[in-house]
Amino acid sequence: MRAELRPYADILNLAAPIIGIQFSQVALTSTDLFMMGFLGLHHVAAGGLALLLYNQLRTMCVGMITGVGNLTAGTIGRGEKQSGSTELATETKEEVQNLLRSSMLLATLTSIAAAFLLIGLSMVLGFLGQTDDITALAQPIMLTLAPGLIPMLWLNVLRQFAVGMRRAGSLMMVTLISVAINALLNFIFIFGLLGMPKLGLAGIGLSTTIVQFASFLIYLRIVQTDQELRPLLALNPCRAKRETLLKIAKMGLPISLTYGSEAAITSIATVLIGTFGPLALAASNIVNQLAYIVYQFNIGLSQGSSILVSRTFAKSDMDEVGAIARRSFILSFSAMALIALIYIFMPQIVLQPFLKAGQDPAVYRYAAILLWFAIAHQFLKGSQNICIGLLRGIGNTRAGLSNTIIGYWLVGIPAMFLSSKLTHAEAYGIWGGLCLGFAVTNLLLWRQFSRQLHALNLSPKTVSSFI
């Protein structure tokens, strides 16, 4: 490999396993949305709304334990700096084990609370402006999706631990097995095959929950067979230390609220679009799912670069911090540009999997226009997430929350209301306001990170290379 490309490979090597798990999660919900097409337009609208609210809570749960990867990487980096070698001292091993135990306890408590919240939301959809038929269809799938949040978050704890140790491994097989099982169970539960009752949308949620448990067990086995990770594997939450639990929660809460704020603006947009009828809601759900799939690449880059920054920062190598940031943005923008070209020149290919034969062609026309908004969406939202990851890598988890409050709640949401109602642009106006909120947030985070680079006394060459 050419020397100038090796640093990019370092980021991708860390990001790839993260992207793998992210894609395995989104592949489940994408398969679910695909299967909903067999049930009809109203099922796509209601089920898509349920999946979006599920993803909202899933994202916030993941945020609570995202810092575990950074804490693990920082612990390893400090240990290596002190010992002068890559051999882990006993004290370092014990600190990593305690991080893992405490994060498992936090994950369990957080996911149980989120599951009950999702069930509660299913009961109040009517008060959020949704029609009676959409509410009746969405409630059962939300009830069956809720328990799956628990193994999902356990899996993410293991992911953060493994990535922090730079030993995440390949998840391609886990992803393929999960998607295949999910699709098979969807068919069985939807249509009542093999003597099972016809569960409709509720069956889709049930199959996803079953697969979440299976995915966790498969990945646990992968970690257990890794010779470097197995000695550090400590999952008993009863032995967690209170101070470590609070440390993880203190770091995770701003991340969770930042992720939640990010997901909330999309959820609010979807609820508003639902007031314009099932046609607009179905088209928006399809495009939002496509954008969500693409977003997983940037999440992987964000977390991969964040882990590298944490380890580099712990070793006081400040020039490399700026270099990692520059490479991450280059990788992201290159991938997003390629996907944008696919949206522009091949909209039929990207939309067809979610649109069944004979379905109203108006949904396709609506969604094809929304793809143009998705292009801006993927650049802006992806860039801001990378900024949040870089800031987290140098220990700043609060900037993301404060800047998203400004960009989303003070700019984006008012813009959605005004552009959709005053201009009668409906869903198009809402997506426009959504992109505006991401743009403002992106600029604020970019400025924040640039300022912190200067504060860290980076060399002029490193700073000027990407600000």
pLDDT tens string 142-175: 999 999 999 999 998 988 888 778 776 656 667 7
Rounded CA separation 67/398 (Å) = 12
Q: 56-89: b or e for each residue (b if 16 or more CB lie within 10 Å)?
A: bbbbbbbbbbbbbbbbbbbbbbebbeeeeeeebe
Rounded CA separation 202/174 (Å) = 24
At residue 196, φ and ψ (nearest 5 deg) are -80, 150
Q: What local confidence, expressed as pLDDT, does residue 66 receive?
A: 83
**228-281: per-residue pLDDT in tens?**
888 888 888 888 888 889 989 988 888 888 878 877 888 788 888 888 888 888
Neighbour tally for 250: CB within 10 Å: 11
Q: What local confidence, expressed as pLDDT, does residue 459 receive?
A: 44
Q: Which helix (H) or strand (E) holds 77?
A: helix 41-83
Please tell me which residue, 321 or 387, carries the higher pLDDT value: 387
157 Cβ neighbours under 8 A, 6+ residues apart: 65, 68, 100, 103, 104, 107
| Domains of the chain by residue range | 3-464
Across all residues in the chain, what is the average pLDDT? 82
Taken as a whole, the chain contains a residue count of 467
Give the CA distances from residue 359 to residues 44, 354, 355, 356, 448, in Å, rounded to whole numbers and listed in that order. 11, 10, 7, 6, 47
Q: Which helix (H) or strand (E) holds 368?
A: helix 361-393
Q: Which two tokens stand for residue 253?
A: 């809460």
Give the CA distances from residue 455 to residues 449, 450, 451, in Å, rounded to whole numbers and listed in that order. 10, 9, 6
What's the gap between Cα 279 and its chain centre? 26
For the cut 70, the answer to whether the pLDDT of residue 214 exceeds it is yes
Rounded CA separation 209/427 (Å) = 31
**Structural contact between residues 123 and 139, judged by C-beta atoms closer than 8 angstroms:** yes
Mean pLDDT of the region 430-441: 92
For the cut 60, the answer to whether the pLDDT of residue 467 exceeds it is no
Give which of 13, 64, 3 is closest to 304, Cα–Cα. 13
**59-113: per-residue pLDDT in tens?**
889 889 888 888 887 787 777 766 666 666 778 788 888 888 999 999 999 999 9
State the Cα torsion 212-214-220-224 to the nearest 10°: -170
Give the CA distances from residue 370 to residues 21, 357, 364, 423, in Å, rounded to whole numbers and listed in that order. 27, 20, 10, 17
Q: Which two tokens stand for residue 288?
A: 């939002």
Please tell me which residue, 185 or 289, carries the higher pLDDT value: 185
Rounded CA separation 238/149 (Å) = 21
Rounded CA separation 290/124 (Å) = 27
67: left (phi over 0), alpha (psi -120 to 50) or beta: alpha
Q: What local confidence, expressed as pLDDT, does residue 25 receive?
A: 67
Q: Which two tokens stand for residue 345?
A: 């020149």
DSSP state of 172: H
Q: What local confidence, expressed as pLDDT, does residue 462 receive?
A: 41
Output the pTM of the full model: 0.71
Rounded CA separation 393/163 (Å) = 14
Confidence of residue 363 (pLDDT cuts 50, 70, 90): confident
The residue type of 37 is G
Q: Which helix (H) or strand (E) holds 262?
A: helix 242-274
